[in-house]
Structure 1
Amino acid sequence: MNRIFRKMSLKRRLWVSFVLLTVVCISATGTYVSVFFSQSMKSQAAKTSQDTLNKTAQVFDERLRNIVVSISTLMMGEPFQHAMRDVQARNAEDYYNRLSQLQTPFAQLMLGEQSVESVLIHTPIGEFYPTENRRSTGTPFADTAIARVIADTREPWNTLWVRGHKDELFARGKPVVSLVIKPLFDLQLPGVYVVVNIREDHLLELIRAHLQEGSLRQLMIDRGGRGVFSSIPNRTDTDSRLDDDIGDSERGHFEYADDLGESYLVNYAGLGMNPDWVLIGYQSKKQLLAPVAQMRWTILTIMGACILLALILSSMLSELLLKPLFKLRNLMLKVERNRLDVRFESPFEDEISQVGHKFNRMMEQIGELIEEVKTSEQEKRHSEIKALQAQIDPHFLYNTLNTIYWKSEMDERQTVSEMIVALSLLFRLGLNNGKEITTLRQELDHVEQYLKLQTRCYPDLFRYEIRCDDESLLDVPVLKIVLQPLAENSILHGFQELDRPGRIVIEVAAEGGMLMLNVIDNGNGMDAERLERLLSGADAGHSSSYALSNVRARLALYYGHRGAMKLESVPGVRTSVKLMIPCER
């Protein structure tokens, strides 16, 4: 084949080469576009579906959490506590009095939570429930599905969720999902349960309200494969591989094929209030990729037209490419226009080809040198930013852990819990999955967690406030960990030996295409001479200016001349550090 090709005339070789090159390029391009478009659609659909599912799960969790909080409020009230004391004392004489006292908390609960169908407090001395709901006299509590679930639950529990069933406790008998809570009381009271029946239709409407137009469908199941709502039938054992794909993970997506061969894209998200419940979203892969099939036929039509056009035009175009010297000359002209990716191609070994090969080698060496310079500069820039970030002072961790220890010794469990959560969020937001850029929302959340911890460590030292009137700015990308060093500088140096309560205000605004981040405190401040030394970098090694010089250097490294820091100070009155960075949405 090679010998035949070499014996062809230059014009014929160019003609054959042009046709083959056209066919290969168009075929490769069409195949790549088709595959890429298909994968892109699946990826985008999975992301969109996951976002929708996460939002629905969040709203669903919030509704359940509100119900739990309302029930907890009821249980902390005096009427409930009095009733529990009667239960503890086995005193049934005041039953009707306690029942009457509980009607107001019951009414407040059901008025505040419209999705609550009914409430019942089961005790050994009698049942307490809103008198406006008629109790089913023929169904004792021990014979209900709720009692069977309680009896079958072997692990210790305080809150128990019962999947959808008919309300057996009250006469209306609507489909409900039940919440069973053990009472909040000084002692554990056996046989006492607070049962809250939540209307199933309200929960289903909550799920449907967040569905957008499209093929996505949602349902709620438990990790055993059973439908949470009574309207969802239990799945069969043939779908056990769906449970295997979900497992114990909180959220994710995968492809799934049913017994009929129908493929689906499945997303899932676990609930925080009940980890055993999983919200599933699924959509038909065939319907989702229907535009891809139409696009493939369009690509095939275009490919055929292009190949036919190539056969017609190849003879005329070959006349223009008869002289390889012209080709090499044209390549050199392109190089003069900074097109460094051009290469000379020829299967021959004549003088022009040798010159062309030398030309290719030269261009490869130039490209390698350019890439080495680019890589070297990028690594240097990245290393400088990493080094500067590593210098951010984390010494407050000792005081934080010490405060957590002493507050735990004093049995301040709520405060300890809040401080641990704030410390965890602080480090998670600071790490940011190793990325240099975060969003303004996360940056404000990061500095808020830091200030929250410092107010716990120094309760009377200062107060803080974060202002952002334009919520659209919260998604603007910013360099991470630029506000926390400034707030730390205010606490360590601004409030030192201050004879009045300190105050830190963080303001966010946009002006002239720039994002303005302003950290203001009423601390000791600094004089004009020292302020000038800070701006010039003369005091960069001093501890009092360390945070300011650090942030200023990082802004210069990442944003160049577009980023800036402006400092203003009236000693003893007001100090302001304003960061100005490009507002790139």
Structure 2
Amino acid sequence: MKHLFRKMSLKRRIWVSFVLLTVVCISVTGTYVSVFFSREMKTQATKTSQDTLNKTAQVFDERLRNIVVSVSTLMMSEPFQYTMRDVQANNSSDYYNRLSQLQTPFAQMMLTEQSIDSVLVHTPIGDFYPTESKRNMSIDFDDTFIQTMILNAQKQWATLWVSGHADELFSRGNTVISLVIKPLFEMQLPGVYVVVNIREDYLEELIQAHLQEGSLRQLVVDRSSQQAVFSSEASLLNDNSRLYEPIVDSSRGHFEYITERNNPFLVNYVALGMNPDWVLIGYQSKSELLEPVRHMRWTILTIMGVCVVLALVMSSMLSELLLKPLSKLRNLMFKVEQNQLDVRFESVFEDEISQVGHKFNRMLEQIGELIEEVKVSEQAKRKSEIKALQAQIDPHFLYNTLNTIYWKSEMEEHQDVSGMIVSLSLLFRLGLNNGKEITTLRQELEHVSQYLKLQAMCYPDLFAYEIPVVDEKLLDIPVLKIILQPLVENSILHGFQELPHLGVVRIEAAAAEGMLILTVTDNGSGMDAALVEKMLNGADTKRISYALSNVGTRLSLYYGYKASMKLESEPGVKTSVKLIMPIQEVINE
């Protein structure tokens, strides 16, 4: 297959590639969509079914709980307690009197819970029941299905639920679910049971009212006996044992079940709180649930066939249109790989390939421009970095400072000597900044403050300086290091040398509209601000101050167009240099 593909012409390879790409893309997409939707539908159906079952179980449990409460109310009534005392004393002489007294509690219980079909209190001295219900005297309690369930109970119990069966105690013979409770009395009375028969159809209607979610069907089973609770319910399958295996120990969950006829079902279940042996099961056919997915798969196959035909037609047309100009463009790209950036694409056509060729030409031009810009930018950056390093350690400044320290030491001005040494040490430490180009405004102000302090001692009576208190919120803002010291140096060396009065340098920091503004102001000899700004923005910077050029270039390199430097000057009165830069700007060193 690989050898055959290599022997094909490029045009045929385009055909095959288009067809294969179409088939693979649609197949992968269709498979993914069908699998995704199958899983999603199964997950959503399982979740919806589980939520519905949980709500149904809650309502069902609440109804059974109310019935238990009603029976408990009956057993705590005085007539019932008096009856139990007679049973304890084996006194049957007051049987009819007790039977009459119990009619009112019986009526109240059945009125409160209309789902109760009948009630009977079985005792050794006789059975007690509502007189309006006709007792089936042909069957003794000991011969009933309920008595059989009581005798077959595997564990100690106080409350026993009996699955659906025909009522044998009363002549109506309705299908009921029985609740058997041992009496609430101060001592255990053997052979005494309170039997409450609940209408099975009422409980079925209660469940059906909450199980109307599409194809979801219900089944209530007793996992201890592996039988349906409602006698009217049909089993989900013939072999029930495999259905009960997953629900033996857990209280709720879901699983997939396959019948003997290979019919898959999604099964959810939840155990009832009033009787954990009873499990409410919801099941739905997986085949019916995923029927839309099967239709989707056939649709995808149809789309795939149509797309394969279209791919053959389109590949034939496109191969004719694309191969010739693409080959030409490919040859030009090979030349560009050999660093021949002066090649250009030419075509008499105005189609998309020609537009790509023109974009290719434009890209080559931009690459050339970018290469030149990078060269110029890197040269300027290197120059600025070299000048910045030179500004950190000015030999003339260092000589004057050390010379001043020496003479003050000779004159035994030890306090001044100590202060200058400390200031010089701090100046170098802050200037080095662990080799980092970025510092904080706090450290930058401290650096220029130490510089001014040293210069003031080297040039006594030449100038004074002021650094007003800066807002504490601004002191941790990141800034370029050593951008103030060159400006201050410029003022001292060029602004105050021939000044007839005392020079003053003032440094201020403020913030406005997301920008940090640093201002250096002096009352020196000044400059032509307009001319200097014009020369700073031009190519010729030989005649302007190195300090202004250095600071301006560094601001431009690191902040781009967002930063600026404003100059104002009135000779002998006020000259200010204002640096404006963005706050919290992320700078890569």
Q: Percent identity?
A: 70
Q: CA deviation at 1:12?
A: 4.8
Q: Secondary structure at the match of 2:228?
A: coil
Task: Report the residue type matching 2:175 in the other structure.
Answer: P
Q: Deviations over 1:435-479 (max 9, x none)?
A: xxxxxxxxxxxxxxxxxxxxxxxxxxxxxxxxxxxxxxxxxxxxx
Cα distance 1:33–1:236, how it changes in 2: closer, same or farther (>3 A)? closer
Q: CA deviation at 1:81?
A: 1.3
Cα distance 1:148–1:325, how it changes in 2: closer, same or farther (>3 A)? farther
Counterpart of 1:311?
A: 312
Cα distance 1:234–1:314, how it changes in 2: closer, same or farther (>3 A)? closer
Give, in whole Å, the separation in 1 of the partners of 2:310 and 2:103: 86
Counterpart of 2:230?
A: 229
Query: Does the CA contact (< 8 Å) of 1:226 and 1:235 recur in 2?
Result: no
Q: Deviations over 1:149-198 (max 9, x none)?
A: 11111311000001111111111111000000001111111111110000
Task: Report the residue type matching 2:176 in the other structure.
Answer: V
Counterpart of 1:300?
A: 301
Cα distance 1:327–1:66, how it changes in 2: closer, same or farther (>3 A)? farther
Cα distance 1:44–1:75, how it changes in 2: closer, same or farther (>3 A)? same
Cα distance 1:207–1:325, how it changes in 2: closer, same or farther (>3 A)? farther
Query: Does the CA contact (< 8 Å) of 1:119 and 1:129 recur in 2?
Result: yes
CA RMSD after TM alignment: 2.5
Counterpart of 1:273?
A: 274
Give, in whole Å, the separation in 2 of the partners of 1:11 and 1:325: 19
Are 2:100 and 1:119 equivalent residues in the alignment? Answer: no
Cα distance 1:27–1:54, how it changes in 2: closer, same or farther (>3 A)? same
Q: Secondary structure at the match of 2:239?
A: helix
Task: Report the residue type matching 2:305 in the other structure.
Answer: G
Q: CA deviation at 1:283?
A: 1.7
Q: Deviations over 1:340-384 (max 9, x none)?
A: xxxxxxxxxxxx9xxxxxxxxxxxxxxxxxxxxxxxxxxxxxxxx
Query: Does the CA contact (< 8 Å) of 1:34 and 1:292 recur in 2?
Result: yes
Cα distance 1:192–1:13, how it changes in 2: closer, same or farther (>3 A)? same
Give, in whole Å, the separation in 1 of the partners of 2:13 and 2:4: 10
Query: Does the CA contact (< 8 Å) of 1:30 and 1:303 recur in 2?
Result: no
Query: Does the CA contact (< 8 Å) of 1:226 and 1:233 recur in 2?
Result: no
Task: Report the residue type matching 1:286 in the other structure.
Answer: S
Q: Secondary structure at the match of 1:58?
A: helix
Give, in whole Å, the separation in 2 of the partners of 1:42 and 1:137: 54
Bigger drift between 316-325 and 119-128 goes to 316-325
Give, in whole Å, the separation in 2 of the partners of 1:234 and 1:265: 15
Counterpart of 1:141?
A: 141
Counterpart of 2:16?
A: 16
Q: CA deviation at 1:259?
A: 2.0
Q: Deviations over 1:186-226 (max 9, x none)?
A: 11111111100000110111111112152221121111321
Q: CA deviation at 1:115?
A: 0.4
Counterpart of 2:68?
A: 68
Counterpart of 2:132?
A: 132
Give, in whole Å, the separation in 1 of the partners of 2:13 and 2:194: 88
Are 2:39 and 1:36 equivalent residues in the alignment? Answer: no
Cα distance 1:234–1:260, how it changes in 2: closer, same or farther (>3 A)? closer
Give, in whole Å, the separation in 2 of the partners of 1:196 and 1:108: 14
Are 2:91 and 1:91 equivalent residues in the alignment? Answer: yes
Counterpart of 1:207?
A: 207
Q: CA deviation at 1:9?
A: 5.6
Give, in whole Å, the separation in 2 of the partners of 1:325 and 1:176: 91
Q: Secondary structure at the match of 2:187?
A: coil
Q: CA deviation at 1:17?
A: 2.6
Give, in whole Å, the separation in 2 of the partners of 1:144 and 1:43: 46
Q: Secondary structure at the match of 1:186?
A: coil
Q: Deviations over 1:398-438 (max 9, x none)?
A: xxxxxxxxxxxxxxxxxxxxxxxxxxxxxxxxxxxxxxxxx
Counterpart of 2:257?
A: 256
Q: Deviations over 1:533-555 (max 9, x none)?
A: xxxxxxxxxxxxxxxxxxxxxxx
Q: CA deviation at 1:260?
A: 2.1
Q: Deviations over 1:55-84 (max 9, x none)?
A: 111111111011001111111122211111
Give, in whole Å, the separation in 2 of the partners of 1:326 and 1:8: 25
Q: Secondary structure at the match of 1:121?
A: strand
Give, in whole Å, the separation in 1 of the partners of 2:322 and 2:252: 60
Counterpart of 2:170?
A: 170
Q: CA deviation at 1:48?
A: 1.6
Q: CA deviation at 1:268?
A: 1.5
Task: Report the residue type matching 1:315 in the other structure.
Answer: S
Task: Report the residue type matching 2:184 in the other structure.
Answer: L
Task: With the length of structure 1 as denominator, give the TM-score of the two structures.
Answer: 0.53
Q: Deviations over 1:527-572 (max 9, x none)?
A: xxxxxxxxxxxxxxxxxxxxxxxxxxxxxxxxxxxxxxxxxxxxxx
Cα distance 1:292–1:262, how it changes in 2: closer, same or farther (>3 A)? same
Matches within 5 A, 1:246-395: 246-318=247-319, 319-320=321-322, 322=326, 323=329
Cα distance 1:172–1:326, how it changes in 2: closer, same or farther (>3 A)? farther
User: Unaligned 5+ residue runs, structure 2?
Assistant: 337-359, 361-589
Q: Deviations over 1:264-308 (max 9, x none)?
A: 222221111111111112222222222222111111111111121
Give, in whole Å, the separation in 1 of the partners of 2:147 and 2:235: 21
Q: CA deviation at 1:316?
A: 3.6
Counterpart of 2:161?
A: 161
Query: Does the CA contact (< 8 Å) of 2:160 and 2:179 recur in 1?
Result: yes
Q: Secondary structure at the match of 1:252?
A: strand
Cα distance 1:162–1:22, how it changes in 2: closer, same or farther (>3 A)? same
User: Unaligned 5+ residue runs, structure 1?
Assistant: 330-351, 353-585
Q: CA deviation at 1:232?
A: 2.7
Q: In the comparison of the two structures, how many residue pairs are matched?
A: 330
Give, in whole Å, the separation in 1 of the partners of 2:150 and 2:286: 41
Query: Does the CA contact (< 8 Å) of 1:164 and 1:229 recur in 2?
Result: yes
Give, in whole Å, the separation in 1 of the partners of 2:15 and 2:96: 102
Give, in whole Å, the separation in 2 of the partners of 1:48 and 1:205: 20
Query: Does the CA contact (< 8 Å) of 1:225 and 1:234 recur in 2?
Result: no
Bigger drift between 150-159 and 213-222 goes to 213-222
Counterpart of 1:581?
A: none
Q: Secondary structure at the match of 2:170?
A: coil
Counterpart of 1:55?
A: 55
Q: Secondary structure at the match of 1:139?
A: coil
Give, in whole Å, the separation in 2 of the partners of 1:240 and 1:154: 20
Q: Secondary structure at the match of 1:274?
A: coil
Give, in whole Å, the separation in 2 of the partners of 1:104 and 1:306: 81
Query: Does the CA contact (< 8 Å) of 2:266 and 2:285 recur in 1?
Result: yes
Bigger drift between 280-289 and 128-137 goes to 280-289
Give, in whole Å, the separation in 2 of the partners of 1:20 and 1:235: 47
Q: CA deviation at 1:111?
A: 0.4
Give, in whole Å, the separation in 2 of the partners of 1:325 and 1:170: 102
Query: Does the CA contact (< 8 Å) of 1:254 and 1:265 recur in 2?
Result: yes
Give, in whole Å, the separation in 1 of the partners of 2:210 and 2:330: 64
